[in-house]
Amino acid sequence: MITVLYGIPNCQTVKKARDWLTTHQIDYIFHDFRKNGLDDSLLKQWTSMVSWDMLLNRRGLTWRKLAPEERDNINENRAILLMHRHPTLIKRPILSYNNHIKVGFSPEHYQQLFDGS
């Protein structure tokens, strides 16, 4: 089973997750949203596992820079389109492990996840 951590390298929360994985000697692949991109099928897969609203980062600068008409009346299809176009609209990190995803980082949740495997 392959563990993949999705995010951007300069995000502090992503850095914490990467440090945690390294410290706990968990092999993983890092997928940089900006460098490696994301395709719609992966975003649709994620939204079948967690709600699109959980994935959409409405707190960040990218969201605030969007035109009001892009932010208004957001739905799953529009959110996927925006996240594909602007990957930094995705909450970070996304950990893909054992056919599940974990949105965000918490040392306790990561510990539970890997202890239960």
Map 5-47 to HEC letters.
EEECCCCHHHHHHHHHHHHCCCCCEEEEHHHHCCCHHHHHHHH
Q: Where are the domains of the chain?
A: 4-10+24-104
Catalytic residues: 11
Tens digits of residue pLDDT in 65-101: 999 999 998 999 999 999 999 999 999 999 999 889 9
Instruction: Name the residue among 98, 7, 11 with its Cα closest to residue 112.
Output: 98
Instruction: Name the residue among 102, 73, 113, 71 with its Cα closest to residue 89.
Output: 71
pTM for this entry: 0.91
Helix (H, G, I), strand (E, B) or coil at 108: helix
CATH 3.40.50.2300 is held by the domain 4-10+24-104? no
Question: pLDDT-based confidence at 1, cuts 50/70/90?
Answer: confident
Across the chain, mean pLDDT equals 93
